[in-house]
A and B are shown apart, each in its own frame.
Chain A
Amino acid sequence: MIKFTNVFKTYAKGGLALKDVTFHIAKGEFAFLTGHSGAGKSTVLKLVYADEQPTNGEVRVSGYVVTDLSPRDVPHLRRRLGIVFQDFRLLEDRTAEENVAFALEVTGARRSSIPARVMRVLTQVGLAAKAGAYPRELSGGEQQRVAIARALVNEPQVLLADEPTGNLDERATRGVFQLLRDINASGTAVVMATHDLELVRTAPYRVIELQEGAVVYDSDVDEPAAGGSTA
């Protein structure tokens, strides 16, 4: 599903961001990417959704080789992914429903199919009742749910979440995390970057820890029998 092979990434001014990163995340898996801020978590995700190109090595995502991807193919890769951020990235002047529908519209989905698909994912994230609300009328947790609904509406094979609970209080964090677990349980792979170790400990998922751009711990490799552990 997602395969990094000896990936190096150097930013023009920022020095080395990733150092010889190799891992493989299988279909339907749930994996945490942990590490301090600046350790390279976001860079790994950016390479997955082809916002950045590796300086060296190979990145494969859902059948695409990101390294060889032409700019024309990038949108098609992204349609197979759902992406969620710490700051939600919702359009402020559209309702929850419109924000989700937007993701379908831009991919050229059949117009008649849009309302039903939008309502289905809003129901899935527990926000069907607030479909007509604008982001500013929603709490942080609710806004993140809208963002997750938007990420899910295209039925992605992988959900990428970059610190999805970073702006949320404890209760909202638990709710959003449970939602991600449910999504994973229904078959979607989830890659979640977080520095919230509390959260990581509560779930028996794979953990890949980055430090200064290098993988220093991978529960699959280092403790395969344990089936997941904390860093």
Chain B
Amino acid sequence: MTLTVREALLAFRRAPLLSALSVTTIAFSLFVLGLFGLVAVNLRAALRGVAERVEIVAYLLPGTPIETITTAEQDIEAFPEVASADYVSEDSALARARRELVEFRALLRELESNPLPGSIEIKLKPGYEDAAHVNAVADRLRGFTFVDDVRYGRDWVEKLDRLRGLAAAVGLVVGAAFAVVAVIIIGTTIRMAVLQRSREIAIMRLVGATDGFIRRPFLLQGALKGLLGGLVAVGLSYTAYVLINRFLISASFFNGLQAVAIVGFGTVIGLMGSLLSVGRHLRRV
């Protein structure tokens, strides 16, 4: 094991240029993937922000007894899709209108009776803000006899739905493409390292080294290169993020888990690339 480690590290020292090239290539492949990941992360955060504003309002018939409303509130909160259901009384609706609709303040003040209905405002749990769930909840609300009308931005929710679907599809396709490109490039650089040492591999075989023994330093080396490349990629992404934040828009960065995932992805790719290159080389000679 110590020999494996030593041989793997020696390779960095013996071929510093090629090693640096591999690490840089891996780093930039992962950086591109990381930039795309940043876009995806921010897009998702933005969509989530929008989705949180999805709200269903059930307007109540005037004169509905407060006990009925309280029971209904509890019933609605028990819906699996619902995060919260809040009763807004006629009076507080008027107070809110006075507060928020400054232009009509004079008009509202002069009213003799309150024209605004009471309502229940319903917020949905994350993940249920799509058109299908919103429609289902709205239909169920209409089933209450004391509900006069149910309002929500139907078009808007459907658009949000489409946008989310599009973002997911684009994310999947572009992300997969970048990942494939990264795997190919990384596999190639590791293949170069294997070819550069093919003489050494041939000699190792002549003196009786097992294939496993020959393979191990390459695997470790590949994994190390991937790890280093991943770290550099996260560093580069962070730099990009800082610059974007300063000069363009306020964005969010990966959380710790996502950063670790990028580094881990680099490591796994480095390992897989070495495994494939060395395996193919060993089978051929």
Contact = CB atoms under 8 A, between A and B. Distances in A.
Interface stretch (A53-61, A75-83, A173-181): A75-83
B199 A106 contact: no
B209 A107 contact: yes
Interface string A49-80: 10000000000000000000001100111110
Interface of B: 2-3, 14, 199-200, 202-211, 213-214
A89 B208 contact: no
Contacts of A154: 207-208
Interface of A: 49, 71-72, 75-79, 83, 89-91, 93, 102-103, 105-108, 111, 150, 154
Contact of A93 (B14, B206, B208): B14
Contacts of A89: 199, 202-203, 206
Nearest to B6: A105
Nearest to A92: B199
Given A105-B3, A106-B213, A79 B200 contact: no
Nearest 5 CB-CB pairings of A with B: A106-B209, A79-B208, A78-B208, A103-B207, A75-B208
A12 B210 CA distance: 26
B208 A91 contact: no
The B interface, classified by DSSP as helix, strand, loop or mixed, is helix
Contact of B207 (A71, A93, A107, A111): A107
A49 B206 contact: yes
B282 to A, nearest CB: 10
Contacts of A106: 204, 207-209, 213-214
Contacts, number: 48
Given A105-B3, A106-B204, A91 B209 contact: no
Nearest to A49: B206
Contacts of A107: 207-209
Given A75-B205, A103-B207, A154-B208, 8 more contacts: A75-B210, A78-B205, A78-B208, A79-B207, A79-B208, A102-B203, A106-B214, A107-B209
A102 B208 contact: no
Contacts of B205: 75, 78
A150 B210 CA distance: 17
Contacts of B213: 106, 108
| Listed residue (A76, A78, A105, A106) with the most chain B CB atoms within 10 angstroms of its CB | A106
6 contacts: A49-B206, A75-B211, A76-B208, A102-B203, A105-B3, A106-B209
Contacts of B2: 111
A102 B213 CA distance: 12
A199 B79 CA distance: 98
Contacts of A77: 208
Contacts of B199: 89, 91
Contacts of A105: 3
Nearest to B204: A106
Contacts of B214: 106
A71 B209 CA distance: 12
| Listed residue (B200, B208, B214) with the most chain A CB atoms within 10 angstroms of its CB | B208
A105 B3 CA distance: 8
Contacts of A108: 213
Contacts of A111: 2-3
A93 B213 CA distance: 20
Contact of B200 (A72, A76, A91): A91
B210 A91 contact: no
A49 B205 CA distance: 10
Contacts of B204: 102, 106
Contacts of B206: 49, 78, 83, 89
Contacts of A79: 207-208
A33 to B, nearest CB: 18
Contacts of A91: 199-200, 203
